[in-house]
A and B are shown apart, each in its own frame.
Chain A
């Protein structure tokens, strides 16, 4: 057996993730295990993630998820050479559980600890599926918690934010629109499903932040959400049935249109040939179809990890750790603490 085994721990929101990867000197990062315990069902009745509920679930799930990951990889804790953990951004109480666990494991096993950035994890997820990233590349991260456009020069050391949402994350808008349409939480999958039966051109919903004076690469989904609400309420007032499929399709089209248009424009203006789309919303069928179409037209290579790697997981955090090891980065101190507002350019702490 060659190479080093890196354990990754993720607890920034409602998924407790433990992943294991093996990295060899050539830079190849192999996925060994990726186990996730989700508390999403506990949050469904509240229509959004409840931090205290998520934190309690992380505490319960941490050690069992660790054991599942080790069993999947057929490894023992003694085989682990380094530990990486999400130390931000995310929910403070949730991050605290993962960071505390990682520190205890690192101290007990006497292995180096790397506190890493969750957003770098989403980018690194793609290396587990498609191999090393070209330098530079552009990453579009879309989920319930983030909507960001990043320039990635070096996964272990240089990531720059090109644009981000000025209000809601794309996934949040999905959750709110799902609620308007009496669809379940989380809103992404049911809206995607309903949209397949609808006409994306039925209703012309606004494209936020696309005016000539708006920041070119920033997003806004709050206005879109309000526009959908107004439209649905007007329908209800007039006593007509709400055409759920058409509203879902038209809303989804507006989201996918803005995200892909801005990402492709950024790639073109920055002269970057590869776009990675990751995060929970990356699994959205219209977003990936439109991105594929527009990237092909612009001659941009599109990389989207499989849905399982797009959502929050520990393997992506282990992958960041593997890149830090390869780059010879200094490990974190055992005084490491969670930073809910960790900026994206801080890849490791």
Chain B
């Protein structure tokens, strides 16, 4: 089956066409641009171009897999609404995937893994994995707090790694952002089975910045 995979939870605008069968996902074509301001502009053209390179059209798509964050950029919503609209118009299911899970899914091996991405405002999003399964997170925290809490981390992945001062022994593995294959792999068996997808709900992890107005400010001199 042909799966369209997309993610806008990191500074990357990620679009890919993946073929999926019992052997697992295999990349046919991808378009990735790292520019946190370009999600709205480039995502749909990237999807179109990746499909063209794969020798396919919109009508050939069987399923969509979409990273749902956590992501600090307003662009997260560009990816999610794109996935929702494509699924609606093409009448195919759209499967949500935690973007950190997709990064983890690209890292081979069973050893413990920490995935960290940039949450901006001097914070990181993170989740930890054991034998490919998420055991904690996703959460948002200051890097120092995360390090104090985690203690023994041996392998890290994700674009937020450079924001944390990991001990020298910690091994950096995997990619900075989710890949199309990682997204499809993380979405798991429901895609191939054609199971009903979970709702496409963004992982914001933070409440909107908004303050309720206090007492009225006076304009006249007392």
Residues of A within 8 A of B (CB): 45-47, 50, 52-53, 55-56, 58-59, 62-63, 66-67, 77, 92-93, 96-97, 99-105, 107-110, 179-180, 226, 229-230, 233-234, 334-338
Q: What A residues does B48 contact at CB under 8 A? A: 107, 334
In the assembled complex, the Cα of A153 lies from the Cα of B18 at a distance in Å of 50
**CB-defined A-B contacts under 8 Å, sample of 12:** A46-B212, A46-B213, A52-B210, A55-B77, A56-B208, A67-B88, A93-B74, A93-B77, A104-B82, A109-B89, A233-B218, A337-B40
**Which of A66, A180, A233, A334 is most buried by chain B, counting CB atoms within 10 A of its CB?**
A334
Pairwise interchain contact A107-B216, C-beta atoms closer than 8 A: no
Check: B47 CB closer than 8 A to any chain A CB. Answer: yes
Pairwise interchain contact B202-A96, C-beta atoms closer than 8 A: no
Check: B44 CB closer than 8 A to any chain A CB. Answer: yes
Pairwise interchain contact A105-B89, C-beta atoms closer than 8 A: yes
Given A46-B211, A59-B202, also A104-B216 (CB < 8 A): no
> Number of B residues contacting the other chain (C-beta, 8 Å)?
37
Q: What A residues does B80 contact at CB under 8 A? A: 59
In the assembled complex, the Cα of A117 lies from the Cα of B47 at a distance in Å of 26
In the assembled complex, the Cα of A274 lies from the Cα of B169 at a distance in Å of 76
- Chain B residues 55-105 with CB under 8 Å of chain A are 58, 74-75, 77-86, 88-90
**Interchain nearest-CB distance for A265 vs B (Å):** 30
Check: B219 CB closer than 8 A to any chain A CB. Answer: yes
In the assembled complex, the Cα of A66 lies from the Cα of B204 at a distance in Å of 24
Other than the given A226-B219, A335-B45, 20 more pairs (CB < 8 A) read: A45-B212, A46-B211, A52-B210, A55-B77, A56-B77, A59-B84, A96-B77, A97-B77, A100-B77, A100-B81, A100-B82, A100-B85, A101-B81, A101-B82, A101-B85, A104-B83, A229-B218, A233-B218, A334-B44, A335-B41
**Which of B202, B204, B208 is most buried by chain A, counting CB atoms within 10 A of its CB?**
B208
Given A63-B84, A63-B88, A179-B216, also A53-B208 (CB < 8 A): yes
In the assembled complex, the Cα of A101 lies from the Cα of B78 at a distance in Å of 8
Check: B42 CB closer than 8 A to any chain A CB. Answer: yes
Q: What A residues does B202 contact at CB under 8 A? A: 56, 59
User: What residue in chain B is nearest A98 (Cβ atoms)?
Assistant: B81
In the assembled complex, the Cα of A233 lies from the Cα of B85 at a distance in Å of 51
Check: B23 CB closer than 8 A to any chain A CB. Answer: no
In the assembled complex, the Cα of A147 lies from the Cα of B45 at a distance in Å of 36
Q: What A residues does B41 contact at CB under 8 A? A: 335-337
In the assembled complex, the Cα of A213 lies from the Cα of B86 at a distance in Å of 55
In the assembled complex, the Cα of A226 lies from the Cα of B220 at a distance in Å of 9
- Chain B residues 19-67 with CB under 8 Å of chain A are 39-45, 47-48, 58
CB-contact partner of B220 in A50, A229, A334, under 8 A: A229
User: What residue in chain A is nearest B83 (Cβ atoms)?
Assistant: A104
In the assembled complex, the Cα of A102 lies from the Cα of B75 at a distance in Å of 15
**Interchain nearest-CB distance for A334 vs B (Å):** 5
